[in-house]
Amino acid sequence: MSGVGAGFVESALPLGRTDGLLGRRVRAGVRDTEKAQGFLQTAKEYGIISPDAAKRLTLVPVDLTDIDTIAPAIGNAGKVIDVFGNAPQNV
């Protein structure tokens, strides 16, 4: 989880309910779930993502060059927001 997608996940997770009930769930399609899990752990340790928000995040493997991985990554999601792409590069 790095680049544009990580920024979106960081923004989407806190948008859950504030009345103590379960907030918004986010499913993030990632190339490498192990690497993304490491980023998530670091984000929790530094307080970027709360432990509660992290529980509402599901990391799913997806390879956009393999069409057979896309439908399982989407699953039964009610909405899909595509933020796949290259992270901005400093030129």
Q: What is the 3 state secondary structure string of 3-37?
A: CHHHHHHHHHHHHCCCCCCCCCCEEEEECCHHHHH
Structural domain boundaries in the chain: 4-13+27-74
Burial of 48: CB neighbours in 10 Å, binned 0-12, 13-18, 19+: middle
N- to C-terminal Cα separation, the chain: 22
Of 9 and 81, the structure prediction assigns the larger pLDDT to: 81
Mean pLDDT of 7-34: 68
pLDDT at 58 over 50: yes
Of 2 and 64, the structure prediction assigns the larger pLDDT to: 64
Mean pLDDT of 45-57: 83
pLDDT for the residue numbered 7: 63
pLDDT at 21 over 50: no
pLDDT for the residue numbered 30: 87
Mean pLDDT of 77-82: 78
- Rounded CA-CA distance 31/60 in Å is 8
Dihedral angle sign, alpha carbons of residues 46, 40, 6, 13: negative
